[in-house]
Structure 1
């Protein structure tokens, strides 16, 4: 008896277009990205490619599990797939809309706070387009919806891969034994340190104390915004002094306005330069900060601090958009190639 083969129809392709793949093929396809993931992490944990290889590995392993399940296992997998699709198509967008409304009420109507709301409405809009296309099996609506699903699938794959790898990155690596700790600013309320920045400072103080045997220096980094009464660095220094951090251990960098400047200007203050440097930011910002450090060729380990749960969806979406725009041409080309391949299969 031959093993069951995986088959998949393409949106807008009609019932005649099917792709059949032997289950073992998916298992074999998972080996290459898995190997590249291990090599990539061992060489540099801060590479975006590591997230992609991890995502591809998990995707092929999932396809292998789906296509090779038998008997009761196949029933369990089938129910799991249906539940997962319902969560992604219905529960997730509703949760994002609710979170977006809460963000607007709690944090204001800035674009960054609207991202979860926009993402939720975007997924619901895609659901509606797909439902309309179901009544137009081979027409232009179905073909167009299929192309939208391909693009959404690409973006969703990247988001899921980056989110998972960012969590892994933030929970691994060195946590003590540093010669210097840099705490990145995140904005003040007048001259007061808000909870988001306080969590960074508390984590920075914790790492500073854990590294006491190396007599570390603690750098606070952040300039003064237009609506701030003092520089972020000055307020951060006062906060740390109240936490009994020795004043002679604190260095003040009060000119930075971006993550890149936070890292570059803070490291310039360290004389002599040090080999073991930690940069502290909030957990949602860890991986992008690590990417910036890598692009600047700075020897920095990035460590995250806790963030209020309601803030995380919009924050992670904002980080994802920032990462995507760093290489938007490459992503646009990838989407174009995927859509072109889809159209060739459907219309060819």
Structure 2
């Protein structure tokens, strides 16, 4: 009975997460996160539904080659799931790092749409405003260049929205040349040093992005304390972008 209950719970979880990975695809969001997440959920369903698992196993065990493939695929998915659980735990830890008092916020950019900030960027802007309202002596570096499909730089878009919402422009510094997260942080630290701002920093970005940002800070040899302020990412998109980070993190560690 216990095993049956656990199996039912596992199937329900797999179905729910399958929806989280598939629905963003209908919104045009397709990346390694929801592709890998979809396959992981389908594999879990195949394992947890006895008739399906039995049929697949019976078919594969007819030949040595397919039997080996069956074993390798299962070991691969198990290893991937364990790795993901470890990385996700570290990602949650990274979001819990409190901002140092009056630390300089580095607000990481995201896509600018023709009508204004994307949903992701809007969340980061709102998080930055909340932090600056709560820390009146803190400043912020708004970081993000202009992509070929963007009407203005991400930094400029953030600056416009924040000043229109009442944040004093003297507290905002724009870094509008970067094209990736490493450049965001490196170029922002140069602005912080050039303007004699507090070298204790707070990274303002989505929660799923905080761990990679901390790793980059360590790679760049940043000496000050590093805190985190996370935006309220739409729940529908969190699994997709979190799993995408499972791929981005080893790339960051190995090649950056």
Whether these two folds match at TM > 0.5 is yes
Match of 1:157 in 2: 82
Question: Is 1:101 the counterpart of 2:26 in the alignment?
Answer: no
1:260, CA displacement in angstroms?
0.5
Match of 2:218 in 1: 294
Match of 1:258 in 2: 180
Match of 2:164 in 1: 242
Structure scoring higher RCO (CA < 8 A, sep ≥ 6) equals 2
CA offsets, 1:81-100, max 9 Å, x none? 55444444x33443343233
**Where do 1:120-269 residues align within 5 Å?**
120-124=41-45, 131-133=55-57, 140=64, 141-170=66-95, 172-175=96-99, 177-190=101-114, 192-212=116-136, 215-269=137-191
**Where do 1:17-56 residues align within 5 Å?**
none
- Structure whose CA Rg is larger: 1
**SS across alignment from 2:112:** coil
Contiguous gaps of at least 5 residues in structure 1? 1-77, 330-348
Structure 1 contact 129–145 (Cα < 8 Å) conserved: no
1:304 pairs, out of 215, 221, 230, with 230
Match of 1:282 in 2: 206
1:314 pairs, out of 240, 247, 251, with 240
Structure 2 contact 107–204 (Cα < 8 Å) conserved: yes
Structure 1 contact 176–211 (Cα < 8 Å) conserved: no
Instruction: Name the Cα RMSD after superposition.
Output: 2.8
1:192, CA displacement in angstroms?
0.4
Question: Is 1:110 the counterpart of 2:21 in the alignment?
Answer: no
Structure 1 contact 182–220 (Cα < 8 Å) conserved: yes
- Indicate how the Cα distance of structure 1 residues 154 and 244 shifts in structure 2: closer, same or farther if over 3 A, else same: same
Structure 1 contact 103–113 (Cα < 8 Å) conserved: no
- Indicate how the Cα distance of structure 1 residues 82 and 323 shifts in structure 2: closer, same or farther if over 3 A, else same: farther
Distance in 1 of aligned mates of 2:61 and 2:205? 49
- Indicate how the Cα distance of structure 1 residues 262 and 200 shifts in structure 2: closer, same or farther if over 3 A, else same: same
1:303, CA displacement in angstroms?
2.6
Match of 1:30 in 2: none
Structure 2 contact 131–229 (Cα < 8 Å) conserved: no
**SS across alignment from 1:291:** helix
- Indicate how the Cα distance of structure 1 residues 176 and 210 shifts in structure 2: closer, same or farther if over 3 A, else same: farther
Distance in 2 of aligned mates of 1:230 and 1:125? 47
**SS across alignment from 1:178:** coil
- Indicate how the Cα distance of structure 1 residues 264 and 145 shifts in structure 2: closer, same or farther if over 3 A, else same: same
Q: TM-score, normalised by structure 1?
A: 0.63
